[in-house]
Amino acid sequence: MSVREIIALGTASQVPTRLRNHNGYFLRWDDEGFLFDPGEGTQRQMAFASLASSSINRVCVTHFHGDHCLGLGGIIQRASLDRITHPLYVHFPASGAQYFERLRYASIYYPAAEIIPSPVRELPSLAVIADTPTYTLYAHALDHGVPTIGYRLEEKSGRRFVPELLAAAGVSGPLVGALSRQGSVTIDGRTVTVDQVSTHRRGSVVAFVMDTRPCAGALALARDADILVMEATYTAEDQSLATEHGHSSSADAARTALEANAKQLAITHFSQRYASTEQHVREARAIFENTIALHDLDRLVIRRDK
């Protein structure tokens, strides 16, 4: 079975530190790779994580503050340098198109890769921005000081074979594969369908909610997510700073996860004012127990409903 995981490439906010690079997250999803908010230094972090530029299929930018996008120009140029053979889609707030163009052509290079700009309007509801046979990618406007969007990747639901039902129906060996491909098989004159020997399998959901105050958009993106990756720039002790600057505190992130019925919360995007994230985690777990604080190069495996 192919791997699904989140790799934290950077977990700092506006100012990187000795231990935390600018923002950046890589989502490995079966045969595709999603790069979220490539801040400055993302290429080097990818090297530490043993990620090649060819592993990226889509780049998703939440907004055009520097800590979320200054690495984008390098990623685009690296795709050409490495001659990646597949299209590279770049999703970003439509109102920031001028910043995308400036980053894309920030210096001289030979454009050899196919870059497909995919601007997203900041809509007040979940909007489909990519739909494939196996997943749907959504976006939703957030509440920051500049136009900002969050992302939600949702696996298409499917069916899961039940061994006892297969045995009772006499389906075994190569017939199981035939049933999966064809939807039905005939055994001794009887037709057995997939629905008769399987149950519904919910698809996995991952949500990325960066710079924002608590809002309806964050809740919609995080609804029933297996993993919610959300900023917690400030501790609850500094709640006034979070609200003033359009950010979330550790308590805000935890309340979002709780209200959205998420399974796990991974907080990140920490202000340089904090030497430790212990207080963030303590405050968040008091509201939503299954909370972790991300550190650079952490890996989170996404469990599947088998």
Domain ranges of the chain: 4-157+202-301, 159-198
226 is an active site residue: no
Please tell me the predicted confidence (pLDDT) of residue 191: 83
Q: Are 74 and 104 in contact (CB under 8 A)?
A: no
Confidence of residue 272 (pLDDT cuts 50, 70, 90): very high
**How far apart, in whole angstroms, are the C-alpha atoms of residue 140 and residue 124?**
6
Q: What backbone torsions phi and psi does residue 211 show, to the nearest 5 degrees?
A: -50, 110
Confidence of residue 143 (pLDDT cuts 50, 70, 90): very high
Q: What is the mean pLDDT of the chain?
A: 93
Please tell me the predicted confidence (pLDDT) of residue 160: 66
**Between residues 208 and 164, the one the model is more confident about:** 208
Q: Please state which of the four CATH numbers 3.40.50.10090, 3.60.15.10, 3.30.70.100, 3.30.70.260 is assigned to the domain occupying 4-157+202-301.
A: 3.60.15.10
**What's the rounded mean pLDDT across residues 57-77?**
98
Please say if the pLDDT value at position 199 is more than 80.
no
**How far apart, in whole angstroms, are the C-alpha atoms of residue 224 and residue 23?**
24
Please tell me the predicted confidence (pLDDT) of residue 47: 98
Q: Active-site residue among 30, 31, 37, 67? A: 67
Please tell me the predicted confidence (pLDDT) of residue 162: 65
Please say if the pLDDT value at position 306 is more than 60.
no
Helices and strands in the chain, H and E counts = 10, 18
**What's the rounded mean pLDDT across residues 49-63?**
98
Q: How far is CA 285 from CA 255, 258, 265, 278, 281, in A?
A: 10, 10, 10, 11, 6
**What's the rounded mean pLDDT across residues 251-279?**
97
Please tell me the predicted confidence (pLDDT) of residue 305: 64
Please say if the pLDDT value at position 1 is more than 60.
no
Please tell me the predicted confidence (pLDDT) of residue 189: 80
Confidence of residue 198 (pLDDT cuts 50, 70, 90): low
Please say if the pLDDT value at position 58 is more than 70.
yes
* pLDDT one-digit tens code per residue, 222-260: 999 999 999 999 999 999 999 999 999 999 999 999 999
**What's the rounded mean pLDDT across residues 141-167?**
86
- What pTM value is reported for the model? 0.89
State the number of CA atoms in the 13 A half-sphere of 219 facing the CB. Answer: 10
**Between residues 258 and 199, the one the model is more confident about:** 258
Q: What backbone torsions phi and psi does residue 43 show, to the nearest 5 degrees?
A: -60, -40
Please tell me the predicted confidence (pLDDT) of residue 231: 98
**How far apart, in whole angstroms, are the C-alpha atoms of residue 293 and residue 282?**
10
Region of poorest pLDDT, from 42-46, 164-168, 283-287, 288-292: 164-168
Beta bridge partners of 35: 26, 59
Please tell me the predicted confidence (pLDDT) of residue 78: 97
Please tell me the predicted confidence (pLDDT) of residue 240: 97
Confidence of residue 174 (pLDDT cuts 50, 70, 90): confident
Please tell me the predicted confidence (pLDDT) of residue 200: 61
Please tell me the predicted confidence (pLDDT) of residue 164: 78
